Amino acid sequence: MAQGDYDRMIALPPQPDLDLTSLVRTIPDFPKLGIQFRDVTTLIGDAAGFSESVRRLSALASVHRPHFIVAVEARGFLFGAAMATAMGLGLVPVRKAGKLPGVTIGVDYELEYGTDRLELHEGAVLPGHRVVLVDDLLATGGTILAAATLMRSVGAEVAAALFVIDLPDLGGSQRLAAAGLRCETLIAFDGD
């Protein structure tokens, strides 16, 4: 590949009119009958779509002047890492239990069928740090609320939670608002 090809890839121009919704594939009856799975991997696989998504998320995040982008496992890492790079910020990963080496702190949270745990490295976020949480999709809001609880437990200010996709019929955005967490998304799909 010639140097000019790399330069072109690095500096994709803004595409404010790009319809991101059209780049998200819908897979019917996955993972179970009646579910319309919104597959963000097709958007990530489209260079212009991924670049524009990161640009739009970064613009939303920048108004909050965060110290860090906090990305939630797993697809949140993809968008969060790209945003952190674009904004010149560090990235703090929030992972499922047992995935991070070293000393961690965590929070348990309720799932539809049980409980789970999110963790981050001790000292990764300190009191007074302002953070923006990032994940690919907002459904019921349980995971992002757990991440916000974890950030607040170390004294961080959670300025906002950003998502590529919202499934408003599942109530996540209302649940976040009720918990005092500002939520912004790029795309919304009716139905589940």
Q: What are the structural domain ranges in the chain?
A: 56-188
| In the predicted structure, residue 2 carries a pLDDT above the cut 70 | no
Is there a catalytic annotation at residue 112? yes
Nearest residue to 167 (alpha-carbon basis) of 136, 134, 135, 189:
189
* Per-residue pLDDT at 10: 53
pTM of the entire predicted model: 0.92
Is there a catalytic annotation at residue 130? no
SS3 52: helix
Query: Side chain identity at 25, as an amino acid letter?
Result: R
Look over the chain and give the mean of its residue pLDDT values, rounded to a whole number. Answer: 92
CA dist., res. 177 & res. 21, Å (int):
24
Quick one: what percent of the chain has pLDDT higher than 90?
A: 85
Nearest residue to 183 (alpha-carbon basis) of 117, 128, 137, 118:
137
Query: Among 3.40.50.2020, 3.40.50.300, 3.90.1300.10, 3.30.479.30, what is the CATH number of 56-188?
Result: 3.40.50.2020
CA dist., res. 34 & res. 113, Å (int):
18
Angle 38-44-49 from CA coordinates, rounded to 5°:
100
CA dist., res. 151 & res. 30, Å (int):
32
Angle 142-146-150 from CA coordinates, rounded to 5°:
170
CA dist., res. 82 & res. 61, Å (int):
12
**Choice among 55, 56, 75, 95 that is catalytic:** 75
Kindly state the average pLDDT of the residues 87-107: 97
| In the predicted structure, residue 55 carries a pLDDT above the cut 90 | yes
* Per-residue pLDDT at 156: 98
* Per-residue pLDDT at 111: 79
